[in-house]
């Protein structure tokens, strides 16, 4: 695949940016408001800080390979099927539509949403354009896909077993999907629920289907094997970049132990000695980093232990996580923000789920459920802390946040989520909002996987430098922090740079993405002052 020449669809009349044949150079002044307050927080001194930056965007779209950990699961097979169906422009029948459905990427921000560009010069009404038209982004149809799974089903058999897609589409995809088989993965029984052991017949550390021959004492060999898989995949397909994404079952949390997984060197040494707290997902993360691949953790376990973060900084590679933000949690990050911003005080949030896919089966084990509980429960923390009128240090957070997940095989991939938000109103009044949400889980998760890959690849082509306006000294270009918090829109428990608080509010996350794309092409951040309507 030859690198594509980018022809900008949006031409901005500005001196802030200039295009070369391969790059876009943009100047931007970042304005921040710095606040000093007294101890009682009744008096505030505020100053505006300006910092000048220069951004450089590589406009060449590379050839990208995607490797899924858990390719044979519901999410993995749905991802592979969606790429094939869209690439082949398939049409298929469904039980709920009389005509033919076109393959699409509905649910994907990068492929199926729009952004406000500005207002029409004549009518002054808003003008919207596709999200991915502002700057060059990889088309998911062009992804080269491979991956690993602990079960040896080919992708067609796994797709049939998952019962996610329509029968007509499945049959049209059968010739290609039946030829795709996952690479051998890693299975350490202590990290997954024991109910997964029967599935684990496609593992590099398991010689047959007997639990007695699972080798957990040669984790260095496992790491070397996965590194070779990534290297071979990249070479054989002549790829410019590889993205590794964990979409396999949830692991238990790993203990963070000084001298074991707290630094890069300790982590690498612990892999050599096959320490019991080294999880399969951490092996994949380390293998990706050492091979220069991007790693995304789509499950809630703490794969990205301090040693992994340290290693990614040292090797200058990108990592992101944790846990796809799909249905219930995404709605929570909107609804909780709405209540608190409205001055209404949530007292309790009760979340109940039941689902029947293998993810639900695995989560029926207490340790694996605990990983999911942690990622789901942190989603409203920053919103609570944003309002000291409702929640202050003396009374505490005061939000009871209960999360229940039950496995019910009959419902399959149709996850049922029920939430109750119980809040306090003025003068002792109360408000109860109950939400009942039924969603096809993998058809929500797959577009998020696509968005994460498209955006992480795009941002990996951007570098920046601070420009000291006082003496015109220009520093060297740098890449973004290795822990890419720009992807937090799609993640329940977003990883951020040490010392910073994660932002979970969905609207804030989306606004940051839009405004970042705008500044790169020389536009100011979007606002809704609408002077043309309100002042004239």
- Alpha carbons 230 and 66: distance in angstroms, whole number: 10
Instruction: Please name which of 190, 196, 213 lies closest in space to residue 72, comparing C-alpha atoms.
Output: 196
Bridge-based pairing state of the strands 345-355 and 414-424: antiparallel
**Choice among 184, 219, 330, 415 that is catalytic:** 415
Please give the backbone phi and psi of residue 55, each rounded to the nearest 5 degrees, phi first.
Answer: -110, 145
Residues 6+ apart with CB under 8 A from 367: 193, 252, 253
**Choice among 310, 323, 413, 419 that is catalytic:** 323
DSSP state of 5: P
Cβ–Cβ < 8 Å for 278, 270: yes
Give the H/E segment covering residue 431. strand 430-440
Residues 6+ apart with CB under 8 A from 138: 61, 62, 64, 453, 454, 457, 458
Instruction: Please name which of 114, 108, 113, 61 lies closest in space to residue 86, comparing C-alpha atoms.
Output: 108
**Choice among 181, 234, 241, 492 that is catalytic:** 492
Residue ranges with strand state E in 77-125:
91-94, 97-102, 114-119
Helix (H, G, I), strand (E, B) or coil at 367: helix
Cβ–Cβ < 8 Å for 263, 314: no
Instruction: Please name which of 489, 484, 491, 449 lies closest in space to residue 318, comparing C-alpha atoms.
Output: 484
- Alpha carbons 89 and 112: distance in angstroms, whole number: 16
Cis geometry, peptide bond prior to residue 322 (ω within 30 degrees of 0): yes
Please give the backbone phi and psi of residue 324, each rounded to the nearest 5 degrees, phi first.
Answer: -55, 135
End-to-end CA distance of the chain: 53
Query: On the CB side of 208, how many CA atoms lie within 13 Å of its CA?
Result: 2
Point out which residues pair with 126 in neighbouring strands: 119
CA distances from 396 to 139, 181, 347, 382, 399 (A): 47, 52, 11, 14, 9
Active site residue 323: yes
**Choice among 359, 372, 441, 451 that is catalytic:** 372
What residues act catalytically?
A: 323, 372, 415, 492
């Amino acid at each position: 695949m030859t690198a594509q020449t980018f022809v900008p669809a949006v031409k901005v009349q500005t001196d802030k940016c200039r295009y070369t044949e391969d790059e876009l150079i943009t100047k931007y002044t970042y304005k921040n408001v710095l606040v000093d307050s007294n101890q009682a927080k009744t008096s505030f001194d505020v100053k505006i800080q300006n910092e000048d930056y220069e951004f450089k965007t590589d406009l060449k779209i590379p050839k990208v390979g995607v490797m899924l950990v858990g390719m044979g699961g519901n999410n993995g097979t749905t991802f592979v099927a969606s790429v094939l169906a869209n690439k082949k422009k398939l049409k298929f029948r469904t039980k709920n539509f009389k005509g033919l459905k076109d393959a699409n990427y509905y649910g994907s921000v990068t492929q199926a949403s729009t952004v406000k560009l500005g207002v029409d010069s004549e009518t002054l009404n808003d003008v919207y354009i596709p999200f991915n038209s502002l700057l060059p982004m990889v088309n998911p149809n062009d992804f080269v896909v491979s991956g690993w799974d602990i079960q040896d089903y080919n992708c067609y058999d796994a797709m049939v077993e998952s019962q996610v897609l329509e029968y007509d589409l499945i049959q049209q995809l059968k010739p290609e999907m039946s030829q795709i088989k996952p690479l051998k993965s890693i299975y350490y029984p202590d990290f997954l629920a024991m109910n997964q052991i029967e599935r684990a017949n496609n593992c590099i550390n398991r010689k047959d289907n007997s639990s007695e021959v699972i080798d957990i004492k040669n984790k260095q060999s496992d790491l070397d094997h996965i590194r070779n898989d990534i290297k071979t995949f990249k070479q054989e397909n002549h790829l410019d970049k590889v993205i590794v994404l964990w979409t396999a079952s949830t692991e238990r949390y790993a203990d963070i132990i000084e001298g074991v997984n707290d630094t890069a060197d300790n982590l690498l040494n612990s892999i050599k000695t096959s320490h019991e707290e080294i999880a399969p997902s951490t092996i994949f993360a380390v293998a990706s980093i050492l091979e220069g691949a991007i790693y995304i953790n789509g499950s809630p376990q703490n794969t990205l232990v301090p040693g992994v973060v340290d290693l990614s900084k040292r090797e200058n590679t990108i990592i992101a996580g944790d846990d796809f933000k799909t249905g219930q949690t995404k709605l929570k990050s909107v609804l909780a923000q709405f209540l608190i911003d409205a001055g209404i005080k949530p007292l309790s949030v009760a979340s109940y789920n039941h689902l029947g896919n293998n993810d639900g089966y695995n989560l029926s084990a207490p340790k694996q459920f605990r990983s999911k509980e942690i990622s789901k429960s942190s989603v409203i923390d920053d919103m609570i802390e944003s309002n000291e009128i409702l929640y202050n240090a003396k009374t505490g957070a005061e939000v009871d946040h209960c999360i229940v997940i039950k496995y019910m095989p009959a419902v399959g991939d149709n996850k049922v989520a029920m939430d109750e938000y119980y809040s306090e109103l003025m003068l002792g009044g109360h408000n109860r909002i109950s939400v009942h949400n039924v969603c096809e889980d993998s058809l929500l998760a797959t577009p998020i996987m696509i968005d994460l890959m498209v955006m992480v690849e795009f941002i990996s082509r951007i570098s920046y430098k601070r420009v000291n306006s006082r003496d015109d000294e220009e520093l060297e270009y740098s890449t973004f922090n290795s822990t890419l918090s720009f992807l937090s829109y799609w993640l329940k428990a977003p990883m951020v740079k040490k010392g910073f608080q994660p932002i979970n509010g969905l609207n804030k996350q989306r606004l940051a993405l839009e405004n970042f794309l705008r500044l790169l092409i020389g536009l100011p951040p979007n606002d809704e002052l609408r002077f043309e309507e309100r002042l004239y």
